[in-house]
Structure 1
Amino acid sequence: MTSSVRSEPAVPAASQPTLHRRIREELRERILCGAWQPHERLPSESALMAQYGVSRITVRQALGDLESARLIFKVPGKGSFVAQSKPFQELGRLQGFAEAMGPLGHDTFNRLLSLQTVAADARVAERLRLDVGTPVTEVRRVRHLDHRPVSLDVTWLPLHLGRRLRSDELATRDIFLILENDCATPLGHADLALDAVSADAQTAALLGLPPGAPMLHIERLTHDREGRPIDYEHLYCRSDTFQYRMRLQRR
């Protein structure tokens, strides 16, 4: 009787990690380039064994790495499937949302909730270096990415800049680009603070979340090239469908 167990081809022990990494990287590239779409089934373990001429354990090592990276998920008895990847924006660059997402192939849209003149409260006034009660422009928007709501953005600007904003443009244009292109106000830098919060009932309803769901909260104060604060905002982001990323280097 012959054994049905497939034996590994004779490969030096030092080459084994390279072999499973090669399979992992080739599968990873196909996922990231869109050759396999979210929830599409990957070739079976037997098919991958035949394609690469390796044993089941090597294939499982490669698939295990992809699962740990959350690029695939496994369904017992059915196989491995491409996971729904999270779009992300790099925090290391000062960019508007549409400006960052467009080149990555994502569709963006802003649902404008309100555009109004309000009196600056103590926190807004302090951030924008104004007197309490000074009129400022307040903008409330729900950001949509690929037709799904991903964040609630509340922004305050000095009135001389806020008056240049138009409701019909805010559906598709970033405030950053309006400031630079329409208001001739080049951006300089931004200060950020991040923490985790729970969605209140109103925010949860706007973002399609259950009340109390965890969210990422970003407080951002953007300055112009001369160092003047011009854009103060709070972003409340869904943590299940979107990511912010940053690379840090040790100096």
Structure 2
Amino acid sequence: MQIADILRDRILQGAYRPNQQMPSESELMRAFDVSRITARQALGTLQNEGLVFRIHGKGTYVSRPRAFQDLGSLQGFGTSMRQMGYDTHSKVLSLRSVAPPKHVRERMACGERVVELRRLRFLNRAPISLDVSYLPSEIGGRVAKADLANRDVFSVLENDCQIMLGHADLRMCSLLATEELCKVLGVEEGAPILFIERVIHTSAGEPLEYEELYYRGDAFQFRVRVERHASGAR
């Protein structure tokens, strides 16, 4: 615990910078004259606190401060991050017409074909999320003409397509990184992933877009403010 306290202070004071490699177990053994198990436990404590992360075969690194997005408002990722001073952009991985998967048909009104958009989102030039969106063919075709590297789909829908958005239904859970997510997000296999399934509705209440969002669990978090409203007398 004493070694963990010392290393924690160094991280928080900036002696070890984000993404910098930490001293190895062997280096900690020599520096503090302790056993390997003690050095390993110290690094494990910091990993459990989210201050460091391990890459198998390479070592332990300082985690980046986690950016966050407020789930209390329906706002595009790019718009939200730029308002907080982050540099953000997207890379379109694929944009194609597909038959809607069964789970997409169950959650939004669509015909025999939908537009599937797969984007890799970047935050300060580092990959932060994989976003998969499904839109009705006609609307998706109009969205496809926009600058999706620098604009949110929400902005395109409201400004270019003149469709006012109303609310979103979402479900959130944690997943382990698959081979595909490891490749595009630069994480190790089995790393924690924040998964959001989101259905965007128009102001008239019609389901318009279905999204699957996969965020790096070590670099991003969501926040929401919950109010306690007084209920009637009991």
TM over 0.5: yes
- CA distance in 2: counterparts of 1:109 and 1:219, whole angstroms: 21
Counterpart Cα distance in 1 of 2:192 and 2:83:
28
Measured against aligned partners, the alpha-carbon deviations of 1:109-165 in whole angstroms (never above 9, x if no partner) come to 10110011111121111111235xx11110001110001111110000011110112
Check whether the contact 2:146–2:156 (CA below 8 A) recurs between aligned residues.
no
Is residue 127 of structure 2 the alignment partner of residue 153 of structure 1?
no
1:206 paired residue number? 184
Q: Matched residue of 1:127: which SS?
A: coil
CA contact (8 A) 2:172 2:194 kept: yes
- The alignment status of 1:142 with 2:120, answered yes or no, reads yes
**Alpha carbons of structure 1 residues 129 and 218: separation in structure 2 relative to 1, 3 Å:** same
Amino acid at match of 1:189: H
So what's the TM-score if we normalise by structure 2? 0.71
Residues in 1 aligned to 2:212 and 2:135: alpha-carbon distance in whole angstroms = 12
Q: What per-residue deviation string (whole Å, max 9, x for no partner) do you get for residues 10-48 of structure 1?
A: xxxxxxxxxxxxxxxxxxxxxxxxxxxx8635xxxxxxx
Name which of 206, 217, 225 aligns with 1:247: 225
* C-alpha distance in structure 2 between counterparts of 1:123 and 1:241, whole Å: 29
Name the residue aligned to 1:85: 65
Q: C-alpha distance in 2, partners of 1:151/1:230?
A: 22
Aligned partner of residue 110 in structure 1, secondary structure: strand
The residue number in structure 2 matching 1:226 is 204
The runs of at least 4 aligned residues of structure 1 exceeding 4 Å deviation read: none
Higher relative contact order at CA 8 Å, sep ≥6: structure 1 or structure 2? 2
Q: CA RMSD in A?
A: 2.5
Distance in 2 separating the partners of 1:216 and 1:126: 23
Tell me, in whole angstroms, the C-alpha distance in 2 between the residues paired with 1:205 and 1:167. 27
Partners of 1:112 and 1:167 within 8 A in 2: no
Structure of greater Rg: 1
CA distance in 2, matches of 1:216, 1:39: 28
What is the Cα deviation at residue 85 of structure 1? 2.2
TM-score, length of structure 1 as denominator length: 0.66
Of 81, 88, 111, 1:108 maps to 88
Residue 77 (structure 2) aligns with: 97
Whole-angstrom CA distance in 2 between matches of 1:167 and 1:110: 15
Of residues 151, 154, 158, the one that matches 1:173 is: 151
The AA in structure 2 aligned to 1:97 is F
